[in-house]
Homo-oligomer: A and B are copies of this chain.
Amino acid sequence: MKKDSRLSSVLHALLHMAERDEPLTSDELALCMRTNPVVVRRTMGFLRDAGIVSSARGHAGGWAITADLKTVTLRQLHETLGEPAIFAIGNKQEMPECLVEQAVNAALDTAFAEAEALLLDRFAHVTLADLAEDFARRHRLRSQ
């Protein structure tokens, strides 16, 4: 399976947008994210529908952040993107009649559920402001 990198992509885009006050066009974002403008529009559209960013057409149009960086968490972004599947591993059948397979599913489901809960909890405690701060720190380090 190809990995879903939309969360990574929108974070990258949002932080670049946070660095600039003017709107960034899909083409500009696509260039720095090494992807396609249409992919940018498609993905950022979810965030616009959730009120995290705004989009404007025409001259001087593009994408801008409307939400407060401190209030947007990775978990919220993950939900906004439609809560894509986290795991690349899963059960062969979800609702098997076979008791053996039920026992297997139960064991795997428990482990996956715990790992997912931990991941989402970590996501819930990281905001865009945290990432922006970490970027600023890296920037200072490199500028020395």
Contact = CB atoms under 8 A, between A and B. Distances in A.
A126 B139 contact: no
A135 B103 contact: yes
A92 B8 contact: yes
**A interface, over-half SS:** helix
Contact of A15 (B90, B103, B119, B142): B103
Contact of A107 (B84, B92, B116, B126): B126
Contacts of A89: 3-5, 7-8, 84-86
Interface string A115-139: 1101100110010001100110011
Interface in A75-89: 84-89
Interface residues of A, number: 57
Interface string A21-34: 00000000000111
Contact of A8 (B4, B104, B116): B104
Given A3-B88, A100-B135, 16 more contacts: A1-B1, A3-B90, A8-B90, A8-B92, A8-B105, A12-B98, A12-B104, A85-B89, A86-B89, A88-B88, A102-B135, A103-B131, A103-B134, A111-B122, A115-B119, A118-B118
